Structure 1
Amino acid sequence: MSEDLRPLGDPGSDAFRVDAYPFYLLNRAVGRYNVVIETELRAIGIDIPTWRVLMILGEQCPLPIAQVARLAVINISTMVRIVERMAKAGLITTAPSQQDGRATDLHLTDKGTQTLTAARAKTAPLYRKLIRGISAEDFSKLLSLLDLLHDNLE
């Protein structure tokens, strides 16, 4: 049985240790990932927020701008600026939603689909490097634990 490190991750504890605080460790990993991935994405002319939007629309398209913002973890005012930039670059188009005329749907263009394909090719080697040494079981557990942390914040 392993030591219970949860009390050490409690910022209210006198025994608190930053290396046992999951959100510090998550931010450290994401920060490093963003530095590395940004270099790859800039080589094809996009940034991380554009990559997020492309990935989301690559799974399901069209989607309302508000839903894309939520899924991309981008506030709506920032999302509007990203959408304007992406539309100007020819990566997406916007149109009134057929389900709700008050909403604006985002659609990938052919150029957006091509850019998504290029971005996936650029980022795949890093992903493969990141998961190296992680078993299928541990990877599945990691995803479940991250979902649980997210759900506990709701």
Structure 2
Amino acid sequence: MMDNAERDSSPDDDASGFDPHNWPFFWMTQAVGRYLQRLETALKRVELDVSRWRVLMCLQQDRATSVSEIAELAIVKLPTMTKIVQRMQADGLVTCEARASDGRVTEVSLTKRGLEAKQNAWSIANKLYVQAFRDIGGDDKLRLNRLMEQIFGNLSDW
């Protein structure tokens, strides 16, 4: 077992001694991957998928959001997000309208059916959240959020 000094040190300049279990991005990827697998399975019960869930979680009840804003929040390329939103519109979950001040921008809003789907999806995602963080205290969750935000910012500068 490694001591804290070894575990916390920066990686070597070469990959010869690389152990993915000591690499924070390994665990970030593993945690997010498992979360998304479990979420995908659970969302099927309410006829949703992770892509639709991401869009639903980006939308507010009484506020239109542009497709590009949703794509940025969901970390999805704009053409892909456009297709997801079009499918959701065909499913009656959202409406799309050109922005009054700039017709090139498509704004997305929840329909009544979309709001119901969001509530169902949130119920599922929240249960999964509770399970994932069942042994982790509030201060640790706040610290994790701050660290992830800091890492995100650091990577924005690279």
TM-score with structure 2 setting the length:
0.89
Range 9-18 or range 90-99, more displaced? 9-18
State the shift of 1:8 in Å: 5.5
Give CA deviations for 1:98-151 in whole Å, capped at 9, x if unaligned: 342221100110000000011111222111111111111111110011111111
1:79-94 alignment runs, 5 A limit:
79-94=81-96
Pairs aligned (count): 154
Distance 1:29 1:9, change over 3 A: farther
Residue 38 (structure 1) aligned to one of 34, 37, 40:
40
Identity of aligned residues (%): 31
What is the one-letter code of the residue matched to 2:120? A
SS in 1 for 2:103: coil
Mean CA deviation greater in 117-126 or 65-74: 117-126
Residue of structure 2 aligned with 1:69, choices 68, 71, 75: 71
The counterpart of 2:139, out of the listed 97, 114, 137, is 137
Alignment match, 1:3: 5
Distance in 2, Cα, partners of 1:11 & 1:107: 49
* C-alpha spacing 1:106/1:57, structure 2 compared with 1 (3 Å): same
Letter paired with 1:43: R
Higher relative contact order (CA 8 A, sep 6+): 2
- Seen in structure 2, the aligned counterparts of structure 1 residues 80 and 33 have a Cα distance that, compared at 3 Å, is same
The runs of 5 or more residues in structure 1 that have no matched partner are none
* Local SS of the residue matching 1:152: helix
RMSD of equivalent CA atoms? 2.0
Shift of 1:81: 0.9
- Partner letter of residue 63 of structure 2? C
Which shifted more, 125-134 or 6-15?
6-15
Aligned structure 1 segments of 4 or more residues deviating by more than 3 angstroms:
6-15
Runs of at least 5 residues in structure 2 that lack an aligned partner in the other structure: none
Question: Residue by residue, what CA displacement relative to the aligned partner does 1:55-95 show, whole Å, maximum 9, x if unpaired?
Answer: 01037721110011000111011111101100000000100
The residue type paired with residue 151 of structure 1 is: G
TM norm structure 1 = 0.91
